């Protein structure tokens, strides 16, 4: 009888540990977040359109852009603070040629949001740029995006995280970006939550085991 009781107790303990482990894993996955992905879907510089030789086109120093923001999470929303867009030309990243601000907004889970606008560009060597694309080369613009986001998990929000990304947009003699596909803006910094994921999982497992031992 004692042996049967010991085996039963062992089975119960193993079952509890297994169930607790699955519960901890589920909790960890539920709290895991992913940064939104940002991409340039469209980018148009009329002054660099070689087929339009009008004075109006040459003097049109505007840039039309279409930025796409993707929340890839299927069960968490994203609250964006004010989004600051900065545009540069060539390798000169010290002096922006244009800026634009997107007001703060909320994005639901698994949603895609586009922000389109026209900005006036200043400081671009237009004659040199037009000559370059007319000779079959491309010129590069850089788009930088900076904001802070917080994630909505059920009815609660996490703390804010920095989202700072950038990307180069090559433009040809049509005045449009070379790539038809969207150009993803990237960051050199890791997702702020990634380095804590393993630690959080260990903490959850440790907490479950402490409760079991008590």
Is pLDDT of 148 > 90? yes
Could you tell me if 74 and 110 are in contact, meaning their C-beta atoms sit under 8 angstroms apart?
yes
Percent of the chain, pLDDT > 70?
73
Answer positive or negative: Cα dihedral of 107, 108, 110, 115: negative
Question: pLDDT tens digits for 176-190?
Answer: 999 899 999 999 765
Of residues 27, 24, 8, 118, the one with CA closest to residue 66: 118
Lowest mean pLDDT among 23-27, 107-111, 113-117, 177-181: 23-27
Confidence of residue 155 (pLDDT cuts 50, 70, 90): confident
Q: What is the pLDDT of residue 194?
A: 47
Is pLDDT of 17 > 60? no
- Per the model's pLDDT, the better-predicted residue between 15 and 109 turns out to be 109
Give the CA angle between residues 78, 79, 82 to the nearest 5°. Answer: 135
Q: What is the pLDDT of residue 28?
A: 45
Tokens describing residue 92: 């000169």
Q: What is the pLDDT of residue 19?
A: 61
- Per the model's pLDDT, the better-predicted residue between 8 and 22 turns out to be 8
- Per the model's pLDDT, the better-predicted residue between 24 and 177 turns out to be 177
- Per the model's pLDDT, the better-predicted residue between 76 and 191 turns out to be 76
- Per mean pLDDT, which of 62-66, 71-75, 209-213 is the most reliable? 62-66
What is the DSSP annotation of 77-140? EEEE-PEEEEEEETTB-SS-SEEEEEPPEEE-TT-EEEEEEEEE--S--HHHHHHHHHTT--EE
Question: pLDDT tens digits for 83-112?
Answer: 999 999 999 889 999 999 999 999 999 999
Q: What is the pLDDT of residue 146?
A: 98
Lowest mean pLDDT among 28-42, 87-101, 164-178: 28-42
């Amino acid at each position: 009888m004692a042996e049967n009781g010991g085996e039963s107790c062992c089975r119960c303990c193993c079952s509890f540990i297994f169930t607790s482990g699955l519960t901890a894993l589920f909790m960890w996955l539920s709290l895991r977040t992913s940064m939104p992905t940002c991409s340039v879907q469209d980018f148009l510089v009329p002054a660099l359109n070689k087929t339009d030789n009008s004075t109006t086109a040459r003097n049109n120093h505007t840039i039309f852009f279409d930025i796409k923001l993707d929340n890839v999470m299927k069960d968490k929303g994203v609250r964006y603070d004010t989004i600051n867009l900065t545009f540069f030309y060539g390798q000169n990243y010290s002096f922006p040629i244009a800026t634009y601000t997107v007001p703060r907004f909320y994005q639901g889970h698994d949603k895609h949001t586009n922000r389109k606008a026209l900005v006036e560009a200043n400081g671009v060597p237009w004659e040199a740029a037009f000559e370059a694309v007319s000779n079959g080369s491309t010129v590069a613009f850089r788009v930088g995006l900076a904001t802070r986001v917080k994630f909505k998990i059920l009815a609660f929000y996490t703390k804010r995280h920095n989202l700072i990304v950038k990307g180069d947009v090559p433009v040809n003699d049509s005045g449009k970006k070379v790539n038809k596909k969207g150009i993803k803006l990237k960051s050199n910094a890791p997702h702020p939550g990634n380095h804590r994921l393993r630690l959080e999982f260990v903490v959850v497992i440790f907490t479950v085991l402490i409760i079991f031992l008590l």
